[in-house]
Amino acid sequence: MATINDNYLKLKAGYLFPEIARRVNTFVEGNPEAKIIKLGIGDVTEPLPEACRTAMIKAVEDMGDRSTFKGYGPEQGYGWLREKIAAQDFQARGCDIDASEIFVSDGAKCDTGNILDIFGKNNKIAVTDPVYPVYVDTNVMAGHTGETNDKGEYDGLVYLPISAENNFIADIPTEKVDLIYLCFPNNPTGATATKAYLKAWVDYAKANDSIIFFDAAYEAFITDDSLPHSIYEIEGAKDCALEFRSFSKNAGFTGTRCAFTVVPKQLTAKASDGSEVELWKLWNRRQSTKFNGVSYIVQRGAEAVYSEAGKAQIKALVDFYLENAKIICDKLKSAGFEVYGGVNAPYIWLKTPHDLSSWDFFDKLLQTTNVVGTPGSGFGAAGEGYFRISAFNSRNNVEEAMKRITEQFKV
Ligand SMILES: *Cc1c(COP(=O)(O)O)cnc(C)c1O
């Protein structure tokens, strides 16, 4: 009989969102008249910007004419898109990133998982706790961990706890790790990183020959000019960091699919014979072999993000979600909650009142207000006692949810 990748059996079976759905369904069965408002899942709700739609419609027409039809495109993405990304997202911010270092893909989620293909089996890997679960689960699948302990932590990973005590900013480890996942602005806590903090990580990585995986999926939500949008704004980062970006959260591409990963040419890691190998070459080879590029139509849609009209529309979209976040923060604070994030980020991270567990608070909020959020413990053991509320929703839903919480929920 064929055998399986046993590592998959170590995964805690997709517990968080199915369990949320189970509890909501049970509640609705007993309370069929309840009007549930979901502020849980981190998916966008507002339509695609007009500039992107117009560009995609035009691209569909291109595909209908022999002279402009496109078959397979470059696995790394079309040059016209990579040039705009390099110029506007990086060079305009003083980052010396070349278009050839940009790899266009169909998602930052898959890139953060796939990147492990080009790394060895014996790296020491650090993640924050709580964390975007994809970083952990993809390492489990790749066989980089052991089993879980009773707190749900995988043997072999280094967990860097983040909580109100350290402002949701992990301490730089005292031990040596090889790969570090950082996400700023952060999902789930909404925390941001200053240049000084990222500099400390870059210094650590250079001193320890480590590689930083920097996930900047939410960089568009940064409104504070002093905060870096890219890790390459930090001197030396090109020697030690990869960066993941996505059009999902800035331009509403969660259902359209386009993202990119930056792999600087000078970034290297060690082969088992001790030689230093360029990661760019390996990732280029990996993508050319296992990936056939993003559709021409979608890449034209992504290109429109960089047009004058596109930039204005994307700013309006991001501002809309940020205003939701501000409404949520203000209302929750006025109701007596201890609230974090929600500024420069679309997520609000609150401390559960009266030391309720994350799931007990979930149930209480659902029962008293019919509002659904995400238990912090679902993002890691150190998320226990916290709760995530997403600003990705209509203004009506946000206002109605906050009205119910301020009027009905006793902190
Ligand atoms: C939403 C999100 C992404 C983007 O994923 P896509 O696959 O590009 O949609 C990446 N990282 C984090 C932390 C996210 O929350």
Q: What pTM was computed for the model?
A: 0.97
Instruction: For ligand 1, pick from 182, 187, 247, 298 the residue to mutate: most ligand atoms within 8 Å of CB.
Output: 187
How close is the Cα of 253 to the center of ligand 1, in Å? 10
Final residue in a domain of this structure, among 307, 326, 361: 307
Q: What are the tens digits of pLDDT across the range 5-19?
A: 999 999 986 678 889
Residue type, 182: L
Which amino acid makes up residue 283? Answer: W
231-277 pLDDT per residue, tens: 999 999 999 999 999 999 999 999 999 999 999 999 999 999 999 99
Residue with CA closest to ligand 1 atom 2: 217
Segment 156-165, tens digit of pLDDT? 999 999 999 9
Q: Which ligand 1 atom sits nearest the alpha carbon of residue 111?
A: 7
249 lines ligand 1 (CB under 6 A): yes
To the nearest 10 degrees (0 to 180), the angle between helices 308-334 and 50-63 is 140
Q: Looking at the domain assignment, is residue 10 inside a domain? A: yes
398/371 Cα distance (integer angstroms)? 10
| Number of domains, the chain | 2
Atom of ligand 1 at shortest range from CA of 215? 11
Q: In 103-190, where does DSSP find H-type helix?
A: 108-114, 133-141
> 189, 248, 321: which to mutate for ligand 1, most atoms within 8 A of CB?
248
Ligand 1 pocket residue status of 329, Cβ below 6 Å: no
Distance 211 CA to ligand 1 centre (A): 20
Tell me: do 303 and 199 sit in the same domain.
yes
Other Cβ atoms less than 10 A from the Cβ of 410: the count is 9
Mean pLDDT of 292-320: 98
- Same-domain check for residues 213 and 282: yes
Same domain, 14 and 134: no
Same domain, 174 and 271: yes
Range(s) of the domain holding residue 233: 52-307
Q: Are residues 35 and 80 in the same domain?
A: no
Torsion of CA 106, 125, 209, 285, to 10 degrees: -30
Please report, for the domain that includes residue 396, its CATH number. Answer: 3.90.1150.10
Q: How much is the pLDDT for 117?
A: 98
- Among 246, 273, 307, identify where a domain stops: 307
Compute the distance from residue 407 Cα to the ligand 1 centre, in Å.
Answer: 34
Ligand 1: does its nearest atom lie under 6 Å from the Cβ of 261? no
Residue 150 resides in a domain: yes
Q: Distance between CA atoms of 257 and 323, rounded to whole angstroms? A: 25
280 and 265 both lie in a single domain: yes
> Looking at the domain assignment, is residue 327 inside a domain?
yes
Rg of the chain over CA atoms, in angstroms?
A: 22
Atom index in ligand 1 nearest the CA of residue 249 equals: 1
Q: Is 389 domain-assigned?
A: yes
How many C-beta atoms surround the C-beta of residue 384 within 10 A? 19
Angle at the Cα of 318 from the Cα atoms of 51 and 244, rounded to 5 degrees: 90
**Of the residues 280, 307, 334, the one at which a domain ends:** 307
Residue 291 neighbours by CB under 8 Å, 6+ apart: 75, 105
Ligand 1 atom nearest residue 248's Cα = 9
Looking at the domain assignment, is residue 1 inside a domain? Answer: no
Can you give the pLDDT at residue 16? 85
